[in-house]
Amino acid sequence: MRALVLDEELQFVEDYPTPTPPPGEALIRVRMAGLCNTDLELMRGYMRFRGVPGHEFVGVVERAPGAEVWEGRRVVGDINAACGVCATCRAGQHTHCPQRTTLGISGRDGAFAEYLTLPVANLYAVPEDLPDEVAVFTEPLAAACEILEQVHVHPTDRVIVLGDGKLGLLCAQVLALTGCDLTVIGRHAEKLDILARRGIATLCVARNATVAGLPRADVVVEATGHPDGYATARALVRPRGTLVLKSTYHDTLEANLTMAVVDEITLVGSRCGPLAAALRLQARGAVDVTPLVEACYPFDAILTAFAHAGRRGALKVLVDFNPPLLPAAES
């Protein structure tokens, strides 16, 4: 099969082995995949990953031995493949299974290939009327939903989302559903306008500008994708407030934790989330992901797609494995 392979550098290959699903897993033909900042961090050494990257996808189940009811169904998938039997899994914490593999991130080839495999237990059926261009956002939207699984956000809370990238825009839309006093701080007026059109308050600040003087918030979500985002977020959260960390990056974070102790700040690491909830929000139109799509490339142009996604300020770049055929030229 054709695949994008990361081994020191990215290579598009035509003859990568097609995976064979082990017992309990399904073979999935990828229809569309999305690039995220984690994919870019993998290229910089994050998780020391080697293989096929990519974890945001929508596809069709081609083969599911023992679970044939899934065959032919359009699906998205939980990216964490857990053992299911360890104490962590039995406690309902499969995303922290010490034996887990993670699609396109750790120990498991991912979605930038024509086929991938995932446990059948990880699959979620996509509603028929939900386009691929929307369904492909299920995994990152679920990550935004995870905040509300971890933190009780009250309608009376003042909440700040720091960062106007792809994940920040999704987090803001999810948090807005709580009725909280929400403000999103970013550096790109055109991105913040996506939220402003939905009635969400925004503040555009220049790079390296100070946020001193802003009212402190009960909850601050750090979604900048930059190591210096922690210090800014920490300055915005009130004593005994909650700081939610959504960014992952290869660089080492330098942080002064002394004042986090003095101010009794609750630090919450937040990663993967509930896919079923994300699918419901998409199906109901409670969030709008379409303005986040900046470009869509055919799979054979995926190296160009990566270059586009790496541009400063780029929004979502998608990869279409089934692009429409161009009409035949008239004779």
Q: How far apart are CA 58 and CA 28, in angstroms?
A: 9
The model's pTM:
0.94
Domains and CATH numbers, the chain: 3-137+289-320 (3.90.180.10), 142-269 (3.40.50.720)
Q: Among 164, 168, 170, which residue's Cα sits nearest to residue 134?
A: 170
| pLDDT for residue 328 | 47
| pLDDT for residue 172 | 98
Cα-trace Rg, the chain: 20
Q: How far apart are CA 265 and CA 259, in angstroms?
A: 8
DSSP 211-224: -TTSPPEEEEEE--
| pLDDT for residue 131 | 97
- The backbone torsions φ and ψ at residue 228, rounded to the nearest 5 degrees and listed phi first, read -80, -5
Per-residue pLDDT of the chain (331 residues; tens, 9 = 90+): 999 999 989 999 999 999 999 999 999 999 999 999 999 999 988 889 999 999 999 999 999 999 999 999 999 999 999 999 999 999 999 999 999 999 999 999 999 999 999 999 999 999 999 999 999 999 999 999 999 999 999 999 999 999 999 999 999 999 999 999 999 999 999 999 999 999 999 999 987 677 777 899 999 999 998 888 999 999 999 999 999 999 887 677 788 899 999 999 999 999 999 999 999 999 999 999 999 999 999 999 999 999 999 999 899 999 999 876 555 444 3
